[in-house]
Amino acid sequence: MLDFLQKLLRRGGSPRSPRAVALSEIRSSFEAAAGDEQHFPSTIDPRIYHVQLIARYFGDMNSRLALDAGSGKGRFARVLQDLNPQARIVTLDLALAMLAHAKAPLLPCCGTLTQYPFPDHTFDFVYATESLEHAVDIERAVAELTRVLKPGGKLVIIDKNIEHWGRLETPHWETWFDRRNMEALLARQCRHVSSDFISYWEDVPPDGLFLAWKAEK
């Protein structure tokens, strides 16, 4: 796993300086949260629509390379890995304590959402599930998601709708998103951009809280 990541790093890529807006506070928060299995579980029910949507949109991931951006403990990556045993899935997160749960064959990598240690056009698939909301610079974070995606690659973002802001208790740095604004950010580098309201369960009608954006580069 270490050799694989070192090879990616040696391929280059433009270094970028992330905005240090409460980054240490965010890291400390998630390092501590790693011990809270109730609110930050290591596993999820594979029937949850969030991960089913990603799996269906990506299709066959075997022998391909994917990035879980802001993976936490790798709960989504683990489901996708089980569905695609020959896929290589990099789990990137700010908190080492979270990544400690992302066991092989997952490929854990510590990094921020605004500066990936990967060259342009590295991944066949990129997704961010309820993680982009913690980025300190949303425009830059979306640019990083699209930068590392190969031409023809697929991307999914699942996060919360700004129109429902205040419905849940959140840390002071968290950001929720406007549907059309996110589409516009993705459209700078991607094609076939679309979005849908989704629910945790496929047979439960969406209530407007969660949105899923899909795009191809």
Per-residue H/E/C for the chain: CHHHHHHHHHCCCCCCCCCCCCHHHHHHHHHHHCCCCCCCCCCCCCCCHHHHHHHHHHCCCCCCEEEEECCCCCHHHHHHHHHCCCCEEEEEECCHHHHCCCCCCCEEEECECCECCCCCCCEEEEEEECCHHHCCCHHHHHHHHHHCEEEEEEEEEEEEEHHHCCCCCCCCCCCCECHHHHHHHHHCCCEEEEEEEECCCCCCCCCCCEEEEEEEC
- Which pLDDT score is estimated for 16? 34
Q: In this structure, are residues 177 and 116 in contact, taking their beta carbons and an 8 Å threshold? A: no
Domain boundaries, the chain: 45-216
Q: Say which range, 17-21, 101-105, 137-141, 147-151, has the weakest mean pLDDT.
A: 17-21
Q: In this structure, are residues 130 and 160 in contact, taking their beta carbons and an 8 Å threshold? A: yes
pTM: 0.90
- Which pLDDT score is estimated for 21? 57
pLDDT at residue 22 greater than cutoff 60: yes
Burial class (CB in 10 A: 0-12, 13-18, 19+), 60: exposed
Q: In this structure, are residues 157 and 182 in contact, taking their beta carbons and an 8 Å threshold? A: yes
Residue 3 banded pLDDT, cuts 50, 70, 90: low
**Mean pLDDT across the stretch 138-163?**
98
Q: What is the fold, at CATH topology level, of the domain defined by 45-216?
A: Rossmann fold (3.40.50)
